Structure 1
Amino acid sequence: MKLSSLLAATSLSLFLGMASLPALAQAPQTGLEAGQSRAKMLLDRDAYSSDDVEIGEVEDLILNAQNQVVLVIIEVESRLGFTDKYVAVPVAQVTPSANNRDRVTVAMTRDQLRNLPGFKYQD
């Protein structure tokens, strides 16, 4: 078989194989879609308890195996403003403030948050 025929057959095979990939058939997303939000809306935001006390700030987001955010890691500060510990809160209990972009509210009281066990990174 001639080299040009071999290249043509290989190119055609690659093209046909790529055409069946679903990711290539979809149009690229060019903006946020309904129900989507940015991680930036949570990271480094001041975290307030449900009793409206500043507790610390959002430090990190934990993803599950399907790359969905499941936990929000909150840096709990001591009364002097130093890091006391990190705690993990289910993402469903954290709400970004509608009128203050620098703040999130956790559906727990200050005491409930402070009494959570510390979260330890294993990396």
Structure 2
Amino acid sequence: MKLRPILAAGLALSLGLAALPATAQAPAAQPTQIEAGQTRAKMLLDRDVYSSDDVEIGEVEDLILNAQQQVVLAVIEIESRLGFTEKYVAVPLAQLTPSASNNDRVTLAMTRDQVRDLPGFRYQD
């Protein structure tokens, strides 16, 4: 009976399965380690942020991704104990540099006064 191949093809299509061509390519290799130039988000989140004039100004609270899922902004929680108004500010990720000698610290390429003048960042959930 010739219905079996037709039933099998119909079942495969109904399950969303497509016949694979005989020359199917192997899937791309999945990464197995962090590549040169990449940084883990964990290495930035909750790290103390120091200004370029070596004043502790707060900590990295969040990372913001663009539509292409690339991290573009770091949200910093500014601490009020240092004479700042307690607020969040967003800075381009490229302005943060992790410390080579202290894993709990990143440096922002701005002075304390420049940070103080930044507009507040508000989440709109």
TM-score, with length taken from structure 1: 0.83
Name the structure with the higher helix share: 1
- Are residues 97 and 14 of structure 1, via their aligned partners in 2, closer, same or farther at CA, if it must alter by over 3 Å? same
Alignment of 1:1-123 (within 5 A): 2-3=3-4, 5-7=6-8, 10=12, 14-16=18-20, 19=24, 25-79=27-81, 84-123=86-125
The amino acid that maps onto 1:6 is L
The gaps in structure 2 that reach 5 residues or longer are: none
Count of equivalent residues: 118
Match of 2:20, SS state, is helix
User: CA–CA distance in 1 between the matches of 2:75 and 2:112?
Assistant: 15
TM-score, with length taken from structure 2: 0.82
User: CA–CA distance in 2 between the matches of 1:3 and 1:82?
Assistant: 76
User: CA–CA distance in 2 between the matches of 1:94 and 1:15?
Assistant: 49
Task: Give the number of the structure whose alpha-carbon radius of gyration is greater.
Answer: 2
Question: What fraction of aligned residue pairs are identical, expressed as a percent?
Answer: 69
User: CA–CA distance in 2 between the matches of 1:35 and 1:89?
Assistant: 20
User: CA–CA distance in 1 between the matches of 2:31 and 2:63?
Assistant: 23
Cα RMSD over matched residues? Answer: 2.5
The gaps in structure 1 that reach 5 residues or longer are: none
Match of 2:18, SS state, is helix
CA drift at 1:110:
0.7
Contact kept in structure 2, 1:73 and 1:88, CA below 8 Å: yes
